[in-house]
């Protein structure tokens, strides 16, 4: 528990550093006793999980922090055994159903039913429901999500679901309508800076505000990343200097270099090189949509106003295709090729315009 | 007449080129006359002789018949040895010695011969002919022995006993007991047997007549005037309408084979190696290569020139010595090659040629293990004793690549079967074989034929068989044969047409001939290139391999140069857009491996030489790839297989976008597979790491956040700057830092493992191997800890782990620890537990004696005991006696010493 991220994680709703209003609302929600299903969504590193754990603590007390990992084996109707790890306390159960891949529907059905069908014995001292926390709901298959619909209503008396995902776009409408949606936005730069400063203060370190700002910008206000970066800076050099270079994640650097390669030359040979780099990114377990997003962000920096719109449009088109298809590399390369063609045409037109 | 010359040239060259075969043939001919085995003599120069005759005989009509008769006679003479002995025609050793007049004479003799066959049919008729009157006399002859015969009317005749056989045949009915023996049959057995032999002979003659007709017909058709063709055609159409031309014109002699000469020769040689064991003929070693004779010299020979061409290797194999049973080293031959090259025909022709009776097993037979075993045993160990084909069997297993593995194992077992009595080798293998019942070794050649040599089931057989791969048939030879056939069938063709037909069918003999017959059957008398191109038969529906397909897609065929005189159509790959479209669509859809094909296209299209400055075609190609990817997704997820028909269009598009006249360099697509396996290893590393992370941290991180945010920075964080000194000398701040580092590493389930590089250096590697997951090539390398630092960390971590484990133990069962402590100190401490003390205890401290039942026994003061006060003093004395003669028994407990036994806790050490 010695990473700063883990060490200084707030454990109760009252101690949360940002979105305090929302925290207060959640507290009220718990206290009024009518607790609905929740759908917590927001970008990575905004503190969804922290918030959920705080909420659970508010619901059940400190006992919820005694966690254990359980290995469960579920037999699918096709007699195939699915191994899945769950994290559980006495009061809740956390599952990542997408670990089971295509069989996640079976996991949902079996696991939630067993939890939901067991009643709490002493409902006078405890809540009368257990909580099932499903993470990465946006990676659930449609089948599994449909399986969830009925379960949510049927076992309402004994079980509440908290769904956690990065976006609601992949959660089907029926589920969204059954849940109270809570959006956890990214903290602002100032908030990140204040968190960083307070953590450094607790560590007995002095963080220059310039560096704090630089870190929070580089991390894209992803608080987890920001804290890790800050700690990496600390390992790299202490005392801090204001213009210290902040370590970045390798894949982001790699994506940026790829984007630069695309902009600097547009030819089939370059496309081949880019393909090799894309393969490299994919084999390092970077999801294709994140690669696409990173590429677009970097490429847009090099585009003029009119081209920007076109590129954004094309990116949306190709990302949609990417979601529909199976082989990510085709779609990524198609986007790169399309961008190359557009960029080249644009540049040539610009040159022609300058000549005449 | 040009073609004629050409053909002739080939025939003339024959002697020079195929000295090997001729030698073998000559050898066989010799053997034929010597041994007198009833094998069909192979006459290589029949045709030649006839051709030679041709110019001498301007009157084609009559002469032709004669020639045919000669031929018939010749065959008859060969095939019926007994009868041909009877008449005085001996086959000349070389047909070149024939004279036309001679031929006519012999022809008439043959007519006599065939007339002779009628005699046994009517043996009852009394001889009335002039020669007969010489033997039948009204009165007893003056000299020599005679027999009196009285008929029903009472008239008596006297028969002169001149020649035994003649009188027997002629008067068998009249004098049933002419030999003096009593027979039950009216006709003696001898006569019946002869009658039967004659009948069979007649059949053989008829058949050979037919064959010769065919042969002469073909020869004449090629060379004679068209007027003589009319007759032949009629004959052929009546005979051949129901038969496939492939059957009709299949080669019957070694020299007619169209397949590669080297292959033919090799197989023939291999088969001849069996002669020693099958026919009992000693193999003649060649005088030209005396060094081969000694078997001991063989091996060093092979070692010396290790690098030999494939041809030489094969030759070497064939020259190798026989094994102890005088069998060749390889017991089976395995022919392989694409369909339609004449593998089966070759096997049959050669087996017949070498004097075997062919037994064939093919895919249409039941090839389950038991049946297969039975058939192999039957074929290799039995021999037909009745009938004309009293020849040893040669087993031909056709289409073996489809046989089940069990059957092939049985075949292998047969090949490897060891003789029960290993050492002795009978001089006559056939006799030996008869003696053996079940365990006999394989003594007959086996020829296996397959299309695909690399079927998994064939793998063991490949190592034990004499492998022969069939090369493509030469199109010129094939075209020549086609020309002969079409001439005989009265179709008008030319070489160009036939060559294009060969090309279209990929030199598949069967397919070519079938196509010709098909065209003939439709009433076409004249076939030209256009017909061949337009007709949609003859094209084989086989997939050609991925590389071929990719090549076709990326290569634009040049229009072939026009031949003189007539317009020559382009190859199917070139030509107009529509034609190319159809061609590629056909190719792609017949290949069927869309996934692999599109992979190959994707990996190769960017390296094609296409001028595409604006990347338009690249974009379009990628659009198509995306489309096919989506299609695949829909097909696989929705089981919507009707959509599969749209998949081959990808190949067509790529062809139109990227085809070029240059020969493309195509590489096999690996990257997708590599990527998949790499992703798998990365995932595995991550999940190993995640598996043992404690639950409180595990809830906060997922695999995704690990790769995206945490891991890179975490790896930075666990590489702090450490002073390279003993950790005992760290300052308190450094110690704190170290503690945190170890905490972190333990929390995230990371550790260092010592590893030895191949160079012998020791390194510490981070375990699990997540470093590869987050590090990218080409980026500046991150700071690494030194070996010493890693070593220190690793040691500290081990200690920390032990400490934690102990704590866990304490937490889990604190009670027992307390119990132990509360039990109080042991009665004696370690240092007191010395031998003397123990002895003192045992000897000095008197225990109440007990008897057998455990009751205390009252001591009888027999001896004055040392008083208690002097006991202290006399302890040593007692001890001395105790060791010597007391009832205390000392035993050394090996491996256990009380001296070092002590409970120590980890916390005391660390």
Q: Chain B contacts of A136, Cβ < 8 Å?
A: 702, 704
- Candidate from B216-220, B623-627, B711-715 with smallest mean pLDDT: B216-220
Question: Between β-strands B446-450 and B393-397, what pairing exists: parallel, antiparallel or unpaired?
Answer: parallel
Average pLDDT over every residue of B398-405: 82
Q: Chain A contacts of B710, Cβ < 8 Å?
A: 224, 228
pTM attached to this predicted model = 0.62
Closest partner residue to B682 among A49, A136, A284, by Cβ? A284
Report the chain B residue with the minimal C-alpha distance to residue A331.
Answer: B626
pLDDT at position A236 over 60: yes
Is B715's Cβ below 8 Å from some Cβ in A? no
What confidence category does residue A52 fall into, taking pLDDT thresholds of 50, 70 and 90?
very high
Contact B622, A337 (CB under 8 A): yes
Q: Chain B contacts of A268, Cβ < 8 Å?
A: 606-607, 612, 615, 618
DSSP string, B309-334: -HHHHHHHHHHSPP-TTS--S-SEEE
B872: number of Cβ within 10 Å:
10
Q: How many CB pairs under 8 A join A and B?
A: 183
pLDDT for residue B385: 66
Any idea how long chain A is?
356
Say if the Cβ atoms of A283 and B682 lie within 8 Å. Answer: yes
Contact B745, B739 (CB under 8 A): no
Q: Chain B contacts of A69, Cβ < 8 Å?
A: 695, 698
Question: pLDDT by residue (tens digit) across B499-524?
Answer: 888 877 777 888 888 888 888 887 77
Q: Chain A contacts of B601, Cβ < 8 Å?
A: none
Closest partner residue to B695 among A87, A229, A236, by Cβ? A87
CATH number of A250-349: 1.20.272.10
Average pLDDT over every residue of A276-284: 93
Say if the Cβ atoms of A228 and B626 lie within 8 Å. Answer: no
Q: Chain B contacts of A269, Cβ < 8 Å?
A: 606
B29: number of Cβ within 10 Å:
17
Cα angle B673, B676, B677 (rounded to 5 degrees) comes to 90
What confidence category does residue A238 fall into, taking pLDDT thresholds of 50, 70 and 90?
confident
Question: pLDDT by residue (tens digit) across B732-784?
Answer: 888 888 888 888 888 888 888 888 888 888 888 888 888 888 888 888 877 78
pLDDT for residue B129: 44
Contact A195, A187 (CB under 8 A): yes
Distance between B659 CA and the closest CA of chain A, angstroms = 15
Contact B367, B500 (CB under 8 A): no
Distance between A44 CA and the closest CA of chain B, angstroms = 8
Average pLDDT, chain B: 70
Closest partner residue to A325 among B602, B615, B626, by Cβ? B626
Report the chain A residue with the minimal C-alpha distance to residue B714.
Answer: A228
Distance between A118 CA and the closest CA of chain B, angstroms = 24
pLDDT at position A320 over 50: yes
Is B680's Cβ below 8 Å from some Cβ in A? no
Q: Chain B contacts of A235, Cβ < 8 Å?
A: 716-717, 719-721
Is B625's Cβ below 8 Å from some Cβ in A? yes
Distance between A179 CA and the closest CA of chain B, angstroms = 22
**What is the C-alpha to C-alpha distance for residues A325 and A323, in angstroms, rounded to an integer?**
6
**What is the C-alpha to C-alpha distance for residues B417 and B443, in angstroms, rounded to an integer?**
10
Q: Chain B contacts of A337, Cβ < 8 Å?
A: 615, 618-619, 622
Say if the Cβ atoms of B702 and A135 lie within 8 Å. Answer: yes
Q: Chain A contacts of B709, Cβ < 8 Å?
A: 44-45, 222, 224-225, 228, 249
Say if the Cβ atoms of A284 and B707 lie within 8 Å. Answer: yes
pLDDT for residue B890: 62
Q: Chain B contacts of A286, Cβ < 8 Å?
A: 707-708
Say if the Cβ atoms of A272 and B779 lie within 8 Å. Answer: no
Distance between B757 CA and the closest CA of chain A, angstroms = 25
Is B630's Cβ below 8 Å from some Cβ in A? yes
Contact A196, A212 (CB under 8 A): yes
**What is the C-alpha to C-alpha distance for residues B441 and B421, in angstroms, rounded to an integer?**
10
Contact B587, B552 (CB under 8 A): yes
The Cα-based distances of B737 to A22, B297, B715, B717 in angstroms read: 37, 77, 15, 11
Is B369's Cβ below 8 Å from some Cβ in A? no
Say if the Cβ atoms of B704 and A136 lie within 8 Å. Answer: yes
Burial class (CB in 10 A: 0-12, 13-18, 19+), B232: buried
Is B289's Cβ below 8 Å from some Cβ in A? no
Say if the Cβ atoms of B743 and A280 lie within 8 Å. Answer: no
Please tell me if the domain spanning A4-183 has the same topology as the one spanning A250-349. Answer: no
Q: Which of 538-597 (B) contact A at CB < 8 A?
A: none
Comparing B613 with B62, the larger pLDDT belongs to B613
Say if the Cβ atoms of A236 and B607 lie within 8 Å. Answer: no
The Cα-based distances of A170 to A55, A140, A180, B387, B436 in angstroms read: 24, 8, 16, 83, 79
- Candidate from A22-26, A129-133, A290-294, B807-811 with smallest mean pLDDT: B807-811
Name the H helices within B465-563.
475-488, 495-504, 509-521, 529-534, 546-554
Report the chain B residue with the minimal C-alpha distance to residue A319.
Answer: B626
Question: Between β-strands A159-165 and B332-336, what pairing exists: parallel, antiparallel or unpaired?
Answer: unpaired
Contact A12, B707 (CB under 8 A): no
Nearest to B510 by CA among B476, B492, B537: B537
**For B904, what's the count of Cα atoms within 13 Å in the CB-facing half-sphere?**
7
Closest partner residue to B747 among A2, A96, A330, by Cβ? A2
Residue of B612, B717, B735 to mutate, testing the A interface (most A Cβ within 10 Å of its Cβ): B717
Average pLDDT over every residue of A244-260: 90
The Cα-based distances of B415 to A63, B283, B329, B380, B437 in angstroms read: 76, 22, 11, 11, 16
pLDDT at position B882 over 80: no
What confidence category does residue A7 fall into, taking pLDDT thresholds of 50, 70 and 90?
confident
pLDDT for residue A203: 87
Say if the Cβ atoms of A325 and B633 lie within 8 Å. Answer: yes
Is B714's Cβ below 8 Å from some Cβ in A? yes
Report the chain A residue with the minimal C-alpha distance to residue B622.
Answer: A334
What confidence category does residue B842 fall into, taking pLDDT thresholds of 50, 70 and 90?
low
The Cα-based distances of B305 to B232, B251, B293, B299, B312 in angstroms read: 57, 39, 18, 11, 11
Question: pLDDT by residue (tens digit) across A200-232?
Answer: 999 888 888 899 999 998 898 899 999 999 988
Say if the Cβ atoms of B721 and A96 lie within 8 Å. Answer: no
Strand pairing partners for A74? A82
Contact B167, B177 (CB under 8 A): no
Q: What percentage of chain B carries pLDDT values higher than 90?
A: 3
Closest partner residue to B776 among A236, A250, A341, by Cβ? A250
Residue of B712, B719, B784 to mutate, testing the A interface (most A Cβ within 10 Å of its Cβ): B712
Looking at B34-140, which runs of residues are DSSP E strands?
A: 136-137
- Candidate from B220-224, B263-267, B553-557 with smallest mean pLDDT: B220-224
**What is the C-alpha to C-alpha distance for residues B308 and B329, in angstroms, rounded to an integer?**
19
Prior bond of A307 cis (ω within 30°):
no
Is B876's Cβ below 8 Å from some Cβ in A? no
Nearest to B741 by CA among B792, B806, B695: B792
The Cα-based distances of A115 to A62, A133, B85, B698 in angstroms read: 21, 11, 102, 21
Local structure of A72: helix, strand or coil:
strand
What confidence category does residue B860 fall into, taking pLDDT thresholds of 50, 70 and 90?
low
The Cα-based distances of A45 to A165, A186, B700, B772 in angstroms read: 12, 7, 10, 24
Q: Chain A contacts of B699, Cβ < 8 Å?
A: 49, 53, 67, 87, 94
Name the H helices within B692-720.
695-698, 703-705, 711-717
Average pLDDT over every residue of A119-128: 68
What confidence category does residue A261 fall into, taking pLDDT thresholds of 50, 70 and 90?
very high
Residue of A246, A268, A294 to mutate, testing the B interface (most B Cβ within 10 Å of its Cβ): A268
Residue of A132, A229, A235 to mutate, testing the B interface (most B Cβ within 10 Å of its Cβ): A235
Contact B550, B604 (CB under 8 A): yes
Say if the Cβ atoms of B695 and A67 lie within 8 Å. Answer: yes
Question: pLDDT by residue (tens digit) across B367-395?
Answer: 788 888 888 888 777 776 666 557 788 88
Q: Which of A52-56, B17-21, B233-237, B273-277 has the highest mean pLDDT?
A: A52-56
Question: pLDDT by residue (tens digit) across A53-112?
Answer: 999 998 888 888 888 888 888 888 888 888 888 898 888 899 988 888 888 888 888 888
pLDDT for residue A123: 60
Q: Please state the domain extents for chain A.
A: 4-183, 189-236, 250-349
Write out B390-403 in H/E/C secondary structure.
CCCEEEEECCHHHC
**What is the C-alpha to C-alpha distance for residues A220 and B9, in angstroms, rounded to an integer?**
87
Question: pLDDT by residue (tens digit) across B229-246?
Answer: 444 444 444 444 567 888
Report the chain B residue with the minimal C-alpha distance to residue A275.
Answer: B603
- Candidate from B21-35, B85-99, B447-461, B771-785 with smallest mean pLDDT: B85-99
Q: What class is the A4-183 domain?
A: alpha beta
B402: number of Cβ within 10 Å:
15
Q: Chain A contacts of B632, Cβ < 8 Å?
A: 326
- Candidate from A342-351, B236-245, B448-457, B479-488 with smallest mean pLDDT: B236-245
Average pLDDT, chain A: 88
Burial A286-307 (b: 16+ CB within 10 A, else e): bebebbbebbbebbeebbeeeb
pLDDT for residue A117: 77
pLDDT for residue B10: 44
**For A209, what's the count of Cα atoms within 13 Å in the CB-facing half-sphere?**
4
Nearest to B748 by CA among B787, B797, B690: B690
Distance between A259 CA and the closest CA of chain B, angstroms = 15
């Amino acid at each position: 528990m010695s990473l700063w991220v883990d060490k200084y994680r707030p454990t109760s709703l009252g101690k949360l550093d940002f979105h305090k209003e929302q925290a207060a609302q959640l507290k009220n929600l718990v206290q009024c006793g009518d607790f609905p299903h929740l759908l917590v969504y927001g970008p990575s590193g905004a503190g969804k999980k922290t918030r959920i754990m705080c909420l659970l603590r508010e619901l059940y007390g400190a006992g919820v922090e005694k966690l254990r990992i359980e290995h469960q084996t579920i037999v699918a109707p096709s007699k195939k055994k699915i191994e899945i790890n769950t994290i559980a306390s006495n009061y809740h159960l956390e599952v990542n159903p997408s670990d089971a891949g295509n069989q996640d529907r079976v996991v949902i059905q079996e696991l939630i039913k067993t939890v939901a069908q067991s009643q709490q014995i002493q409902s006078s001292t405890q809540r009368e429901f257990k909580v099932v926390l499903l993470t990465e709901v946006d990676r659930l298959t449609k089948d599994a999500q449909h399986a969830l619909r009925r379960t949510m209503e049927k076992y309402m008396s004994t079980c509440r679901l908290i769904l956690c995902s990065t976006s609601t776009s992949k959660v089907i409408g029926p589920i969204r309508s059954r849940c109270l949606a809570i959006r956890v936005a990214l903290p602002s730069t100032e908030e990140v800076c204040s968190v960083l400063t307070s953590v450094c203060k607790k560590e007995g370190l002095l963080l220059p505000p310039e560096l704090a700002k630089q870190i929070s910008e580089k991390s894209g206000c992803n608080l987890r990343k920001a804290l890790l970066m800050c700690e990496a800076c600390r390992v790299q050099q202490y005392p801090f200097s204001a213009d210290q270079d902040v370590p970045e994640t390798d894949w982001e650097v790699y994506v940026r270099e790829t984007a630069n390669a695309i902009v600097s030359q547009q030819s089939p040979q370059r496309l081949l090189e880019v393909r090799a780099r894309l393969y490299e990114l994919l084999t390092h377990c970077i999801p294709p949509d994140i690669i696409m997003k990173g590429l677009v962000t970097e490429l847009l920096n090099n585009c003029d106003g009119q081209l920007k719109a076109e590129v954004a449009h094309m990116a949306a088109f190709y990302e949609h295709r990417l979601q529909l298809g199976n082989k990510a590399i085709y779609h990524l390369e198609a986007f790169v090729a399309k961008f190359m063609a557009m960029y080249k045409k644009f540049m040539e037109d610009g040159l022609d315009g300058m000549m005449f | 007449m040009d073609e004629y010359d050409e053909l002739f040239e080939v025939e003339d060259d024959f002697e020079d080129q195929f000295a090997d075969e001729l030698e073998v043939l000559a050898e066989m001919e010799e053997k034929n006359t010597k041994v007198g085995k009833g094998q069909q003599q192979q006459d290589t120069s029949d045709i030649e002789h006839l051709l030679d005759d041709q110019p001498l005989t301007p009157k084609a009509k009559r002469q032709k018949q004669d020639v045919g008769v000669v031929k018939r006679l010749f065959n008859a003479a060969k095939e019926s040895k007994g009868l041909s002995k009877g008449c005085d025609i001996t086959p000349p050793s070389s047909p070149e010695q024939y004279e036309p007049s001679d031929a006519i004479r012999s022809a008439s003799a043959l007519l006599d011969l065939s007339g002779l066959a009628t005699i046994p049919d009517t043996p009852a008729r009394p001889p009335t002919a002039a020669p007969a009157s010489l033997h039948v006399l009204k009165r007893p002859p003056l000299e020599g022995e005679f027999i009196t015969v009285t008929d029903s009317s009472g008239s008596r005749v006297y028969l002169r006993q001149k020649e035994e056989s003649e009188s027997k045949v002629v008067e068998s009915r009249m004098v049933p007991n002419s030999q003096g023996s009593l027979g039950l049959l009216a006709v003696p057995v001898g006569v019946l047997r002869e009658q039967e032999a004659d009948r069979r002979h007649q059949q053989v003659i008829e058949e050979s007549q037919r064959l010769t007709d065919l042969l002469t017909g073909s020869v004449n058709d090629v060379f004679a005037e068209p007027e003589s063709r009319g007759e032949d055609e009629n004959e052929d159409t009546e005979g051949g309408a129901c038969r496939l031309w492939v059957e009709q014109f299949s080669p019957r002699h070694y020299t007619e084979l169209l397949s590669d000469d080297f292959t033919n020769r090799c197989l023939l040689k291999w088969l001849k190696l069996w002669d020693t064991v099958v026919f009992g003929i000693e193999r003649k070693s060649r005088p030209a290569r005396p060094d081969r004779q000694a078997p001991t010299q063989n091996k060093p020979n092979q070692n010396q020139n290790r690098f030999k061409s494939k041809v030489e290797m094969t030759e070497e194999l064939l020259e190798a010595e026989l094994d102890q049973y005088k069998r060749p080293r390889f017991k089976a031959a395995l022919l392989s090659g694409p369909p339609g090259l004449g593998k089966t025909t070759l096997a049959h022709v050669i087996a017949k040629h070498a004097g075997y009776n062919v037994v064939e097993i093919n895919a249409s037979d039941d090839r389950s293990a038991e049946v297969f075993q039975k058939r192999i045993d039957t074929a290799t160990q039995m021999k037909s004793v009745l009938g004309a084909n009293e020849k040893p069997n040669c087993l031909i297993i056709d289409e073996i690549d489809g046989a089940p593995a069990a059957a092939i194992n049985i075949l292998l077992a047969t090949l490897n079967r060891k003789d029960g009595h290993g050492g002795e080798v009978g001089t006559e293998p056939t006799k030996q074989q008869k003696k053996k019942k079940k365990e006999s070794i394989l003594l007959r050649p086996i020829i296996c034929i397959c299309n695909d040599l690399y079927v998994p089931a064939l793998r063991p057989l490949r190592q034990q068989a004499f492998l022969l791969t069939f090369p493509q048939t030469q199109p010129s030879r094939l075209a020549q044969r086609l020309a002969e056939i079409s001439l005989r069938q009265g179709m008008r063709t030319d070489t160009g047409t036939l060559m294009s037909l060969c090309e279209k069918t990929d030199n598949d003999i069967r397919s070519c001939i079938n196509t010709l017959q098909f065209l003939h059957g439709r009433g076409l008398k004249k076939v030209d290139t256009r017909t061949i191109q337009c007709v949609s038969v003859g094209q084989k529906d086989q997939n050609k391999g991925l590389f071929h397909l990719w090549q076709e897609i990326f290569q634009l065929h040049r229009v072939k140069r026009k031949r003189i005189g007539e317009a020559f159509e382009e190859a199917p790959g070139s030509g107009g857009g529509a034609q190319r479209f159809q061609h590629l669509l056909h190719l792609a859809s017949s290949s069927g491996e869309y996934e692999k094909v599109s992979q190959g296209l994707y990996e190769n299209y960017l390296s094609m030489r296409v001028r595409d400055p604006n990347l338009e075609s690249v974009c379009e190609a990628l659009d198509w790839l995306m489309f096919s990817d989506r299609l695949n997704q829909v097909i696989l997820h929705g089981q919507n297989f009707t959509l599969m028909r749209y998949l081959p269009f990808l190949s067509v598009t790529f062809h139109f976008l990227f085809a070029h006249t240059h020969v493309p360099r195509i590489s096999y697509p690996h990257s997708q597979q590599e990527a998949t396996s790499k992703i798998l290893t990365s995932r595995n590393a991550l999940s190993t790491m995640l598996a043992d992370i404690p639950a409180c941290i595990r809830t906060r991180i997922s695999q995704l956040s690990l790769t995206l945010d945490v891991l890179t920075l975490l790896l930075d964080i666990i590489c702090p700057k450490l002073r390279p000194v003993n950790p005992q000398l760290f300052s308190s701040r450094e110690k704190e830092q170290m503690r945190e580092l170890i905490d972190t590493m333990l929390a995230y389930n990371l550790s260092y493992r010592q590893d030895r590089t191949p160079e012998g250096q020791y390194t510490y590697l981070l375990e699990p191997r997540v470093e590869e997951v987050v590090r990218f090539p080409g980026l500046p390398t991150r700071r690494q800890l030194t070996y010493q630092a890693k070593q220190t960390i690793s040691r500290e971590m081990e200690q920390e782990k032990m400490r934690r484990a102990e704590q866990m133990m304490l937490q889990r069962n604190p009670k027992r620890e307390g119990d132990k402590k509360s039990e109080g100190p042991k009665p004696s401490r370690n240092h007191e537990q010395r031998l003397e003390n123990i002895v003192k205890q045992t000897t000095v401290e008197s225990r109440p004696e007990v008897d057998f039942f455990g009751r205390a026994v009252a001591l009888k003061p027999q001896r004055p005991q040392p008083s208690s006060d002097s006991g202290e003093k006399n302890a040593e004395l007692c001890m001395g006696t105790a060791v010597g003669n007391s009832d205390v028994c000392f035993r050394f407990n090996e491996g256990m010493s009380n001296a070092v036994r002590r409970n120590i806790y980890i916390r005391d050490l660390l």
